[in-house]
Amino acid sequence: MVWSQGCALGCPGCFNPQTHSGSGAGVVRTAGEVAEEVLADAACVEGVTVTGGEPLEQPAAVAAFCGAVRARSGLSVIVLSGFSRAEIEADAARSAAVADADVVIAGRYNARLRLARGLRGSANKEYWLRTGRYTAGDLAAVPELEITVTDDGTLTFTGMAAPEGEF
Ligand code: SF4
């Protein structure tokens, strides 16, 4: 999972408001650096998901990252975006950013249509299948929650049904 910093779309009920600031923690990493880190683990994972924040507010970086992953590995590429498919297709930079994606999960989060299943946070979001690598059924079958426990007891929750609060 690659998290991009910065989102100005302002979906009410967004689960990840700490990603909205464009400045984040002041750490800036290039697309190439992030790609190298992902590619170093390419043998251990099936693919990479780019989320945020809003990845397509940094379209050139996302294009470079996805292009490097596509050119140098067999990893799948999924991009989660708050922009709709129409908004992406109408913009050359955003279109280029997803050119190497197998799937784009597109559209604003709508809290009234919350799903918390598969890879869609809300029912209005679209599975835009750009290659034949995955079906909508594959994506809908993704576990709702994954819990990782490290040696020091740190718990990391990943998924659409991640609980809130401290543990
Ligand atoms: S696009 Fe995503 S990160 Fe941005 S406000 Fe909407 S749900 Fe939050």
pLDDT digit string, tens, across residues 3-54: 999 999 999 999 889 899 988 677 889 999 999 999 999 999 999 999 989 9
Closest ligand 1 atom to the C-alpha of 81? 1
- Ligand 1: centre distance to CA 159 (Å): 15
- Ligand 1: centre distance to CA 151 (Å): 32
Choosing from 49, 54, 88, 120 the residue with most ligand 1 atoms within 8 A of its CB, the one to mutate for a pocket test is: 54
pLDDT digit string, tens, across residues 93-131: 999 999 999 999 999 999 999 987 788 889 999 999 999
The domain spans of the chain are 2-158
Could you check whether the bond before residue 13 is cis, i.e. omega within 30 degrees of 0? no
Closest ligand 1 atom to the C-alpha of 17? 8
Say if ligand 1 is within 6 A of residue 16 CB.
yes
Buried b (16+ CB within 10 A) or exposed e, 35-45: beebeeeeeee
Cα torsion 85, 90, 92, 93: sign: negative
Give me the amino acid identity at 44.
C
* Beta-strand runs (E) in the chain: 2-3, 47-51, 76-81, 103-106, 114-117, 120-122, 126-129, 146-149, 155-158
Q: State whether residue 55 is helix, strand or coil.
A: helix
Q: State whether residue 3 is helix, strand or coil.
A: strand
- What is the structure's pLDDT at 163? 60
pTM: 0.90
Distance CA 29, CA 137 (A): 34
